[in-house]
Amino acid sequence: MITLGGEKIEESMEEKILGIKIQSDLKWDSHFKTMKSQLQYRVGVLGRLKTVLGRRELKSITEGLVNSKIRYCLSVFGAEYLRLSDDESTGKLMQDLQVLQNDSMRVITNHKRSEHIRAADMLHDVGCLSVNRTLAYIILIENWKAINFKVPVLKETLTECTSENRTLRSVTAHLVKPSSQEPYSIASSKLWNLASVRFRKTNLINIAKKEAKELVNRLPL
């Protein structure tokens, strides 16, 4: 407890800010638990709508009910779980979100879990990014916008590699390093350096999105 301006302020275990539950220990268990419960309910709604709606309508509703929920502030609480290769383990929390997204894909494609249809095939069929790829895409575009539109604070997330004494390949290739050792900055720098030179140099949003999409489609589900 602290006293500020004569008022006593007690510490709370968690606080909800703009729909995101932030815990005092800086973990995201509570937010993921709430998010998982909400997504389970929404997938259930989709299952009931399947009997009266066609695939096109189900896909549109899934985008609004499920995928938009997954995307909202995903880079805030998901950056530390980003996977860039199949050798990296999948975080339990992200895996739970992927399972729920897979369930929504089964509703659209009219498959059951017992059929063991590959998640990659369903996502490709529907034209949807997995949770991990969605996270990567959001981080890439957020940083591209921050740099090109000079967004305060965010534009400082990445620092260009420089050398006073000699020209390094990392400098000429416009590679970057994280400005701080925290998950979002680290994930951002790794993704930025994996992106094409065209992505890093363009000032056109359509080209940036196209290049970002090509990169994330090579990442693990």
Angle (CA) 169-143-98 rounded to 5° is 110
Question: Torsions phi, psi of 216, nearest 5?
Answer: -65, -25
Single-letter code of the amino acid located at 106: R
pLDDT at 95: 94
Confidence (pLDDT) at 13 = 87
What pLDDT does residue 27 have?
87
Exposed, middle or buried by CB within 10 Å (0-12, 13-18, 19+), for 119?
middle
Check residue 166 and give its pLDDT: 39
Question: pTM, whole model, 2 decimals?
Answer: 0.87
Give dist(CA 95, CA 85) in Å, integer: 15
Q: Output the tens digit of pLDDT for each of the chain's 221 residues.
A: 678 777 887 878 888 888 899 898 888 899 999 999 999 999 999 999 999 999 999 999 999 999 999 999 999 999 999 999 999 998 899 999 999 999 999 999 999 999 999 999 999 999 999 999 999 999 999 999 998 998 887 778 777 643 333 344 444 456 888 888 889 999 999 999 999 999 999 999 999 999 999 999 999 99
